[in-house]
Structure 1
């Protein structure tokens, strides 16, 4: 069975209120999140999970805030001797802009996207301004999209599960690594969402749902499901991975 290595590449950041990550907790606290593209090495195909921002803000203060270096997608992949056109597969956790702005650069890749996410980007609700259909225009016109409609194994040791905690078509990716079954969450959270502080646990909450979700109750339950299915959880925007070479 394949044992993959996950390489976090920081391809952007956002500075906003921490409550955007942690529902009903820590509102009013300025917070910087890294935006990742995850390079999955160890199999026959060169795989990315999400592609990140096209023009990331690269500044000393943002790199200090996340504890790691920020790259363009080209710079990040070059660390592994790759170019965007070398990528064979992109798996999308979801299609908010910060996760798909570089899709067009991966001109030879097949893109796996959940059907609900494709429906949503075609007709987003006015409350969710983070969908911009233009960013998947090239890959859709080129026939690069493979629509995912069921939970399934895409490749040996890599499977996806529909987890609409943050967006209607969010997918969590499970990857077999040396640490066991590792989940890259299909919803935007940090480590604190899965490991709440004592004052939150005292309210009998095991996890903190994403700050923005399609259904907060359902998001809470999905987080527990992902946590219990995985040996190791990678929250999609956790800063601790910004300084880590591999998982």
Structure 2
């Protein structure tokens, strides 16, 4: 089986209340999250998970907050000798705008997306303002979208699992590496969600659901399932990976 090396590339940030990540915990605490594009090196295809922000804020204070450099899409790919045109596979965890703003630049890629994400990006609930159809119209019109309706292998060593915790069509990407199975979560969380502080564990909670979720109870169960099955957990917005070090 193919084995991959995972390269996290910061292609944006958000500054907000930490409770946006950790349900019922740390409300009112300012927090900065990185927005990642993950390059999966190995095998015969050039694969990204998500594409990040189109025009990220690149400032010293934000880079200090996350502990790493912030890149544009082109800058981030160039670090690995890549260009947008060389990408042939993009797997989307979900279609909130900060995860798909550079899709249109990947003119030769297939985009793997859960049908629920396409449904919601074209007809979002008023509460879910993060769906913006403009960012995927080009790849849809060009016939580049591939629907993923069930848990399945995308290529050897990389499979997706439907995990509707943060959005209804969230896909967790399971990547085989030399360090075991790595899970790039299909929901927006940080390390604290999987490894809660002592005061949360004292309440007999093993995980913390995402601050934004479809159903809090189901999200809790999904996080427990992903935590139990992965050797390496890669929460989608964890700052610890902003240094760009290769995983594993």
Specify the alignment match of 2:138 in structure 1: 138
Alpha-carbon separation, structure 2, partners of 1:93 and 1:6? 15
Q: Is the 8 A contact 2:40 2:48 kept in 1?
A: yes
Specify the alignment match of 2:91 in structure 1: 91
Alpha-carbon separation, structure 1, partners of 2:16 and 2:69? 19
Matches within 5 A, 1:36-47: 36-47=36-47
Gapped regions of structure 1 (runs ≥ 5):
none
Specify the alignment match of 2:217 in structure 1: 217
Gapped regions of structure 2 (runs ≥ 5):
none
Specify the alignment match of 2:150 in structure 1: 150
Shift of 1:106: 0.4
Specify the alignment match of 1:167 in structure 2: 167
Specify the alignment match of 1:128 in structure 2: 128
Alpha-carbon separation, structure 2, partners of 1:140 and 1:42? 27
State the number of aligned residues: 247
Q: Deviations over 1:191-225 (max 9, x none)?
A: 01000000000000000000010000000000011
TM-score w.r.t. the length of structure 1 is 0.99
**Moved >6 Å (runs of 4+):** none
Alpha-carbon separation, structure 1, partners of 2:130 and 2:123? 12
Specify the alignment match of 2:229 in structure 1: 229
Alpha-carbon separation, structure 1, partners of 2:194 and 2:245? 22
Q: Deviations over 1:46-70 (max 9, x none)?
A: 0000000000000000000000000
Specify the alignment match of 2:31 in structure 1: 31
Alpha-carbon separation, structure 2, partners of 1:209 and 1:102? 28
Alpha-carbon separation, structure 2, partners of 1:5 and 1:224? 25
TM-score w.r.t. the length of structure 2 is 0.99
